[in-house]
Chains A and B, each alone.
Chain A
Amino acid sequence: MQTRLKTPISEEEIRKLNVGDIVYLDGIIYTGRDEVHIHALEKAEHGEKPPVEFNRAVLYHCGPIMKKAGENWAIVAAGPTTSSRMNSLEPKFIEKFHPAAIIGKGGMSQPTIDAMAKHGAVYFAITGGAAVLAAKGVKAVHGVHWFELGMPEAIWVLEAENFGPLVVAIDSHGKSLFADVDAVVKKNVDKAKKILGI
């Protein structure tokens, strides 16, 4: 199935998605990676809210290259970062802030898959390294929060337009394309060993 969704995305719409579906996004998406996870959760412990509303929003594991154009920021390149670095904090992040979707590359571990099933969220895979193509799907930059964390680690507020193609790689029903591939790879290890004579 191929579909186009507008952010924020309701749980009902997210539950309709299955692994392998292709999605294009419109609307606001927020970048956030290692430091955003650490800081947002630390602040939440002290009863403080993050500067943006993550509820039913789309979080993009991305540290973009941005360029100052006069008073405003312009996007240069914005591909995904390796999502597995956020494995340890993502289940807590999902439970606390209820995002509708996370965009990244490489997939995430079982606790995140479980949290996504529980809270009605999905994981979209976007091609790693294809950063100019990804930036083409960003119509405008609406601002930045926590810039003191450094350009890659800040929260960038991006307005997406036809952002994709994104592959639903983890759906809200406990399925993961990466887990499917892992099962195939396990079967193939012996073939590889045979070629290597080990």
Chain B
Amino acid sequence: MISEELIKEATVELLRKTVTRMPADIVNELKNAMKRETEEAPRMQLKAILDNLDLAEKTNTPLCQDTGVTIFYVSMPQCLKVDVEKAIVEGVRKATKEVPLRPNAVHPLTRKNPGDNVGRKMPYVNFKIWDKDYLEITVMTKGAGSENMSQLAMLTPTQGVKGVKEFVLNTVLRAGSNPCPPTVLGVGIGGSSDIAAKLAKEALLRAIDKPNDDPDIAKMEKDMKEALNELGIGVMGLGGKTTVLGVNIEYAFCHTASLPVAVNVQCWAARRGTVQIYPDGKTKYPVHEG
């Protein structure tokens, strides 16, 4: 039986796992970066990053003090008659105290901080109904340092693929050392202004060792990663061979007169997590297995 209480507790556990332990695909790529780097400056930064991950996991402590604002993606069975959003909100409130999370959510204009990460439309919950019998909740706890470097462009169709690539490149150049590189780039192409931005963020929910299922897009992801790693911005902007850990692209068909592109910049601490809650009350955390 999937109850509000169960969803609330699963949300707390999901947030605890997400902010204290990184997904394996990101850790592997950070380790690969360490193997590639020869200069002392980036090696020192990568060592701190990897040591910190060990320490955070061992002590069950948030690996970065910026535990972000909480953006949720819910896939729910049609028949579920519980207030999932309310349960998630209560879960965020409890996790803020217990994990603890940093109280980051403030009123955008008065900057008043209620202290519990809960406010108007925050946590933000995206819903989808699906035909499976279990409830799936994915969360992204994304810091502001990288989010602030994200960009949207309404290109014209004449600018084409070249324009898209230029825009991604310029976004990385403009971000420079600010977003805690090496970054993961989520790129959303097409749709409309809002859809492109949404796709760019959703692209970050895919593991970086899983290319897009469209072979042309998969090649673009690979080429972009290779090209951006030639820039030499490097770990923490202190130079070296690793500026991005991965580039994930998602696209949607768009109006014949439009070419929207959004880049969501994600710091190396690319934290994401998923919980699946089954009708018998069992829970699974697929991103944090093992």
Q: Taking beta carbons and an 8 Å cutoff, which residues of A are in contact with B?
A: 35, 62-65, 67, 76-79, 81-82, 84-85, 105-107, 125, 127-133, 135-136, 149-153, 165, 167, 169, 177-178, 180-182, 184-185, 188-189, 191-193, 195-198
The answer to whether B230 touches A192, judged by C-beta atoms less than 8 angstroms apart, is yes
Classify the interface of chain B: helix, strand, loop or mixed: loop
Residues from chain A with a CB closer than 8 A to the CB of B165 are 196-198
Determine which of A81, A133, A136 lies in contact with B66 in the assembled complex, contact meaning CB atoms within 8 Å.
Answer: A81
The answer to whether B145 touches A130, judged by C-beta atoms less than 8 angstroms apart, is no
Residues from chain A with a CB closer than 8 A to the CB of B62 are 65, 76-77, 131-132
B209 contacts chain A at the CB level, 8 A cutoff: no
Nearest A residue to B40 by beta-carbon distance? A20
The answer to whether A184 touches B239, judged by C-beta atoms less than 8 angstroms apart, is yes
Smallest Cβ distance from A102 to chain B, in angstroms? 15
With contacts A78-B65, A189-B169 known, what are 7 further pairs, Cβ within 8 A? Answer: A79-B64, A105-B180, A106-B180, A127-B236, A129-B180, A131-B66, A133-B48
Knowing A76-B62, A151-B113, say if A198 contacts B162 (CB, 8 Å). yes
Smallest Cβ distance from A55 to chain B, in angstroms? 27
B232 contacts chain A at the CB level, 8 A cutoff: yes
For the complex of A and B, list the 3 residue pairs with the smallest distance between their C-beta atoms, beginning with the closest: A150-B113, A130-B52, A128-B180
In this complex, the member of B48, B56, B65, B169 whose beta carbon has the largest number of chain A beta carbons within 10 angstroms is B65
Residues from chain A with a CB closer than 8 A to the CB of B232 are 181, 184-185, 188
Query: Which one, B7-15, B186-194, B220-228, B248-256, is touching chain A?
Result: B220-228
Smallest Cβ distance from B160 to chain A, in angstroms? 10
Determine which of A132, A150, A167 lies in contact with B59 in the assembled complex, contact meaning CB atoms within 8 Å.
Answer: A132
Classify the interface of chain A: helix, strand, loop or mixed: mixed
The answer to whether A128 touches B166, judged by C-beta atoms less than 8 angstroms apart, is no
Knowing A76-B100, A132-B52, A196-B165, say if A62 contacts B230 (CB, 8 Å). no
B44 contacts chain A at the CB level, 8 A cutoff: yes
Nearest A residue to B58 by beta-carbon distance? A132
The answer to whether A152 touches B104, judged by C-beta atoms less than 8 angstroms apart, is yes
Residues from chain A with a CB closer than 8 A to the CB of B224 are 196
Residues from chain A with a CB closer than 8 A to the CB of B41 are 167, 177
B177 contacts chain A at the CB level, 8 A cutoff: yes
Residues from chain B with a CB closer than 8 A to the CB of A150 are 103, 106, 111, 113, 115
Return 20 A-B CB contacts under 8 Å, by A number. A63-B102, A65-B102, A79-B66, A82-B178, A82-B180, A106-B177, A106-B178, A131-B64, A131-B66, A132-B52, A150-B103, A150-B111, A177-B239, A178-B237, A185-B173, A195-B226, A195-B230, A196-B227, A197-B162, A198-B162
